[in-house]
A and B are shown apart, each in its own frame.
Chain A
Amino acid sequence: METRTDRVEPLLRELAPRVLGSIVRRFRDFAACEDAIQEALLAAATHWPREGVPDDPRAWLIRVAARRMTDHIRSEAARRRREEVTASLDDDAALAPDDDRAHERDDSLALLFMCCHPALTTSSAIALTLRAVGGLTSAEIARAFLVPEATMAQRISRAKQSIQESNVPFELPTPQESGQRLVAVMHVLYLIFSEGYTASSGSELQRVDLSAEAIRLARMLQSLLPQDSEVQGLLALMLLTDARRAARSGPAGELISLDQQDRGAWDRTAIAEGVALVSAALSKGSVGAYQLQAAIAAVHDEAASTAATDWAQILALYSLLQRMSDNPMVALNHAIATAMVRGPEAGLKAIDALASDPRLAGSHRLDAVRAHLLERAGQPGAAIEHYRRAAARTSSTPERNYLLTQAARLNDSS
């Protein structure tokens, strides 16, 4: 049964960054503003379900948060005995009528750029983005990452402190910087998505769905920057990957590899949306890494089976991606695609060439891929050995269980 809280909650989450942006623009002090917004959201979450949603919910939140900020500044000013600050606030300039809807888009963007600023560590940026832009509470974020609430609260307050200390401004980056800064924002959203996608099973019902949250934030970013084809690619990649979610694990949380998945369980609506997005992005001609990865995901999602997959196209896309980024994981996937097009021996040869890359040394993925290819090449003994080695090296329980299951299956039949 839908409660009234069910309707209030999404509305608050959607309003959170817009209200925060507006308050930060007026009061500047990001850390204090962020606290004020959290209080305003809490007030709304308790009042609105009982008394009904106000006619202009955004204005309501801004009013409450601005009042908190004024109180905060007054008490700070009193503490420091600086009367002039209070005097300047008394003319109520800070609560002046709303002419700031025009600024809303810039404010939301500036907020994202601020939370994903390179001065922050990645884990801080992730936590802060989820709270300040996503409108989640520290407790919800803590549960999503399976860490104690106090730890997460501390992480968020350290992040806010770094923003203060590094003098990260609340403004849009200059055109010169904006490319690099957008890369950082997209990276943070992508990491939030991956965290949700690879999270182990467990008390998922009580956890915020981080993948869905990342998709929501990427949608917001896309609506703010509709012309950016990489942002489009990022959203497409998330949708096309998330579309396979229901099929990628079994009832006990065990991993199911792509070739074994029930493709009927894939989310066709998400696939259609992702394909449309990536096609639109690619047609603009400014190809980037997210668009290429989305294009690869689209080829998989549109195939009826592994055998019917257009591996030649996937190989070509990985070749492009490899030229664009010096990433060993891309090279590894390129090797897999090579094996699908030219046979397992060609893939194994490509992997041998990669084995000397120090960034892959000790990586369980290299062993796992090698095991798969050895199995396909008809060398079960060596395949078992590499499955087991990969299992010993991975730190993901579902992955380890999957790898040991493969080893056991081969061992049984040989």
Chain B
Amino acid sequence: MKYILMMNTQKGPYQHESWPEKAWKAHLAYWGTLNAQLEASGELVSVEGLTAPDQAKRVYAGKDGKDGKPITDGVFPETKEFLAGYWIVDVESAERAYAIAAQASAAPGPGGQPLNMPLEVREVMQSAARDL
């Protein structure tokens, strides 16, 4: 079963931008270890981080697909949370996906304590029909 683990961030610059060097490095090392573990266990499908929300664009087709200004620049004031990055994992059970999400949520913050960030976990739909 595949699950997507989505890490959201608050509006504004990524919070780690103002952390002390030691905390930032520990935070990076934590992600490195987690990703290496998931790769070694054969559960990692992909992991991607996204550029900051102020680089985001919103695109519309517009009327008749050509009218108006289809592209607007971020940051979008009505949005409170932004996707910062995600993992797609291929695991044996939903519980395993939750356990990985919990591990990601515990990444260390500016003082070394777990950040306890909320991770949104959703099952990815299968593109091919399963064998009956």
Contacts and interface: CB of A to CB of B under 8 A. Distances in A.
Interface of A: 202-203, 252-254, 388, 391-395, 397, 401, 404-405, 407-409, 411-412
B68 interface: no
B13 A409 contact: no
Contact of A412 (B13, B17, B21, B55): B21
The 6 closest A-B pairs by CB, nearest first: A408-B21, A252-B32, A392-B52, A409-B21, A408-B24, A412-B21
A412 to B, nearest CB: 5
Contacts of B39: 202-203
Contact of A254 (B21, B28, B52): B28
Given A203-B39, A252-B32, A401-B28, A392 B13 contact: yes
B17 A388 contact: yes
Nearest to B28: A401
Interface residues of B, number: 21
Contacts of B29: 252
Tell me if A's interface is mostly helix, strand, loop or mixed.
helix
Nearest to A410: B21
A392 B19 CA distance: 15
A392 B21 contact: no
Given A252-B28, A393-B51, A404-B16, 14 more contacts: A203-B39, A252-B32, A392-B51, A392-B52, A393-B55, A394-B51, A397-B49, A404-B17, A405-B24, A405-B25, A408-B20, A408-B24, A409-B21, A412-B21
Interface of B: 13, 16-25, 28-29, 32, 35, 39, 49, 51-52, 54-55
A180 B32 CA distance: 44
8 contacts: A254-B28, A388-B13, A391-B17, A392-B52, A395-B51, A405-B21, A412-B20, A412-B22
Contacts of B20: 408, 411-412
Nearest to A391: B17
A94 B112 CA distance: 72
A411 B51 contact: no
A151 to B, nearest CB: 14
B111 to A, nearest CB: 14
Contacts of A401: 28
A41 to B, nearest CB: 29
A254 B20 CA distance: 17
Contacts of B51: 392-395
Contacts of A254: 28
B38 to A, nearest CB: 11
B11 to A, nearest CB: 14
